[in-house]
Structure formats: structure tokens, C-alpha cells
Amino acid sequence: MERAQDQGRILDRPEESAGPSLPLHMRYPLVAMRWPEGVVAKMDLVMFEEEFEQLQEIIGRLQQDSASKVVFLVDKNGQQIAASGDVRSIDATSLASLTAGNVAATDGLAKLIGEKEFSLLFHEGEKDNLHISIVGKRGILVVIFDQSSSLALVRLRVKKASRELQEIFERVEERAQAQASESARFESPFSEITDEDIDKLFGD
Amino acid sequence: MTFINYASREINCKIVYYGPGLCGKTTNIQWIHAQADPSKRGKLVSLATETDRTLFFDFMPLDMGVIKGFKVRFHLYTVPGQVFYDASRKLILRGCDGVIFVADSQRARLEANIESIANLATNLKDNGFDIRTIPYVLQLNKRDMPTTAPLHEMETLLRFHGEPMIEAVASRGIGVIESLKACARQILMELQKN
């Protein structure tokens, strides 16, 4: 699981690695996501390294300020975006997937009783507690904390961090919408995938 | 949702196993889990009832290797097959990249298969996908059962167009990897188009 825990860190920059090079104007794309928004057609979202670093900084600060053990930022489809704290102690991939499932199920419950959403979930354990909150339309912030912090402190700090995170998400989304109308799309490094490449993945 | 991380050079794809109750969706994932190199597979998370029926979903991350310098990781999910868990099924399809429909080949389950495919089409549509265009594989499972319906009959009833159709006995691993591969191929070829 080591790699999963590394996901939140910047391991290398595209231009420094041996992989396919990217066009100049897309020099630092960090994560590209395609996701459905209700019944609207799929939209590509690309987050640049600068924005990712800002996200990382915000959740790092949140983890410090709230005296929590770990903070994860995952998207609503169950992919981890960033993490801070003692991430090695946790199976991050399963955490992201289960959190997304949990939020999705709670979302369903909210709609059943006529609520738009429940923006906050709190699970209290014997030692550790889990604070889950929705950020913007797509993000989920997960804070794991123990007795060295308190629910009040976590809530306070999460509120502030959420606002900052939301601004970044909105910026990313605005740019994605602007780009969707342009014909210029960034060239995919996967444009030349062959059948042999796929066979190799399966060891054939 | 294909999630491409350029910093850690990873592609994450979500594949969902769909099908009627007791058709063998969880068995597919369990077989992959048992066969995969422990260093390449994550934990198999099963949210099941006490009688081992899937309640919400099964989940397993699987590292496949490297393609064009990017590590490829599949996130495999199953849905609960039982009819009354429809709300959960819809949630799990959110953001999926490909679907493997596991059909139960037993004659008595033909109708359940048809119902489940219709349900899949509706739930995909509600999530913004079209069953005719999303990467999709039809797996005919339990081909070793004595009451199996003939292949051509199942094909006529369940196959839409040219989607890969694979005969399987998931409990013995027959057709399991082939199905995954057929789905992965379509997903990765889709990346090529984008």
C-alpha cells in the first residue's frame, strides 16, 4: 500500500521524468479527472501543480491547527487527491473509497427526507474520531483525530480550510469550463496506446 | 472517472461488476484477489451481510503495471445484486469507467439477467452515461451448471451489439481475467481518443 500513501506527495514533475512530454501551456497539469455531473456530459478537469500545492498547504495547515492525526482530501468518486499527517498508518485507498461510499449513501438519505445534502458526518470511536465534510460540489475532507484535539476545534478549523479549498476548486472548474468551449485541448500522453501495451499489462 | 495524476504518474480507473443477485460478481473479484501478486493488490473490502450477500459494495484496488510511463491502477467494485438495493447500485456507478455485466447462465435466471441489464441501462443514464458507448463487457458466468441456457439464446437476449461476450466459470477462474482485460482494453483505448 506504500504507493497509495504517496499519492498526496509530488513525486516528480512531468518535464523531469522520462515519460511523454506535454505541450508548454500544459506544463504542470497534475490531476486530470473526467466525471459525470448529473446527466450533463462528462467534463475534463485538470488541476495544475501550483493549485495542488495550495491544496496540500491548506490541508497541512488544517492538520497542524486542528491537532489532528491525519487529514485527507478525496473526491466524491473515491479517489484520493491529497493527504497530510501520519498517512502511513492508514490504508488510504480503502479509506477514500469507503468515505465516498459513505458520503454517497448519506447524500441519498438526505434526498429521501427532502434535504439537499448533509454537509457533515461525524463518527465517534473509543480512541479515534472521524470528521467528514463536503467541500464545494466535489471534494470530501476527512479529518481523523483523537483526544489531543476536540470536535469543536476540528469543526472550527475545517470551516476555515473548507472556504479556502472551495476557492481553489471553483478556480479549477471555471478554467475547465472555459477550456471546454475552446478547441484547444491538451494532448493526451495516451494517444498512442497500442494493443501490445495493453497485452503487456496483463503479462501476455 | 479516469483519474490521471501527472505528478505521481498514475492512472486510476473504476470498473464496476454488475448483475443480478448471486450471479458471481463478488466471486470474480475474490478470484482476482486470490490470484493477484500480494504486492500489487490492495485489501479486498467487502460490505456484506452476515450471510455473505453484498450489502453495499466490494472494493479492491489492483496495480497492473506501467503504460506510457504511467502506473495503471484499477479500482474494482461490485454492486449488490438484489433488486431492493437499487439506490446503492446507482451510487456505485457514479464515476465509473467501465462495466462488466455478469450474467447467470442458469435458465431459471434468464429473466433476472434481462431485468438487471435494463436496470443497469437506467442507472447508467441517471449517472450521465450511455450503456451503448461506455466500455462494457458481457460475461456469461456459471457455464458449468447443469441447467445452463444455450449460448445463442443468451446472446440473443442479452447482447446489445458487438460488445465482448465471454463465457466464464468464476468460481474456477475461467473467463475472469479475460473479462477484466476486455474491459480494461476498452477503457485504455478510450483514453487514447481523449
Chain A neighbours among B 96-115 (CB < 8 Å)? none
Nearest-CA neighbor of B58 among B5, B16, B108, B103?
B16
Q: Is the pLDDT of residue A25 over 80?
A: no
Percent of chain B with pLDDT over 70: 99
User: What is the pLDDT averaged over residues B17-33?
Assistant: 96
The answer to whether residue B143 scores a pLDDT higher than 90 is yes
Query: Is 90 exceeded by the pLDDT of residue B152?
Result: yes
Q: Is the pLDDT of residue A201 over 90?
A: no
Contacts of A40 in chain B (CB under 8 A): 128
d(CA B143, CA B126): 32
Cα separation values, A120 from A143, A156, B121, Å: 11, 13, 32
pLDDT surpasses 90 at A28: no
Whether A155 shows a pLDDT value over 80: the answer reads yes
**What does the block give as the cell for A195?**
494493443
Residue B179 or A183, more confident: B179
Domain extent, residue B60, equals 3-193
Does residue A72 have a pLDDT over 50? Answer: yes
Q: Which residues of A touch B47 (CB under 8 A)?
A: 101
Give tens-digit pLDDT for B62-120.
Answer: 999 898 888 999 999 999 999 889 988 999 998 899 999 999 999 999 999 999 999 99
Question: Mean per-residue pLDDT for B12-16?
Answer: 93
Buried/exposed code over A177-198 (b: 16+ C-beta within 10 A; e: otherwise): eebeeeeeeeebbbeebeeebb
Q: Is the CA virtual torsion A22, A28, A29, A31 positive or negative?
A: positive
The ipTM (two decimal places) reads 0.76
Q: Return d(Cα A178, Cα A157) in angstroms, integer.
A: 32
Could you tell me the residue ranges of all domains in chain A? 22-183
- B147 vs A97, higher pLDDT: B147
- Please give the tally of structural domains in chain B: 1
**The domain that contains B149 carries what CATH number?**
3.40.50.300
Percent of chain A with pLDDT over 90: 40
| Mean pLDDT calculated for residue range A138-159 | 95
pLDDT tens digits, B154-177: 999 999 878 999 999 999 999 999
Q: Which residues of B touch A93 (CB under 8 A)?
A: 42-43, 61, 75
Task: Say whether B14 and A77 touch across the interface (CB within 8 A).
Answer: yes
What residues form DSSP beta bridges with B48?
A: B54
Residues written for chain A: 204
SS3 content of chain B, % helix, strand, coil (to 5): 35, 30, 35
Check residue B172 and report its DSSP letter.
Answer: G
A189 touching B (Cβ < 8 Å) = yes
Residue B2 has pLDDT above 50, yes or no: yes
In this prediction the pTM is 0.82
CB distance from A200 to chain B under 8 Å? Answer: yes
Q: Hey, is A43 helix, strand or coil?
A: strand
Nearest to B93 by CA among B19, B16, B26: B16
Of residues A2 and A134, more confidently modeled: A134
- Cα separation of B133 and B155, whole Å? 19
Between CA A95 and CA A78 the distance in angstroms is: 8
From the CA of A137, how many Å to the nearest CA of chain B? 14
What does the pLDDT read at residue A31? 52
Q: Which residues pair with B98 in a beta bridge?
A: B15
- Lowest average pLDDT, out of A32-41, A171-180, B81-90, goes to A32-41
Question: What does the pLDDT average to over A42-66?
Answer: 85
CATH classification code of A22-183: 3.30.450.30
Report phi then psi at B167, rounded to 5.
-80, 140
Residue A120: pLDDT band by 50, 70, 90 thresholds? very high
- Mean of pLDDT over chain A: 78
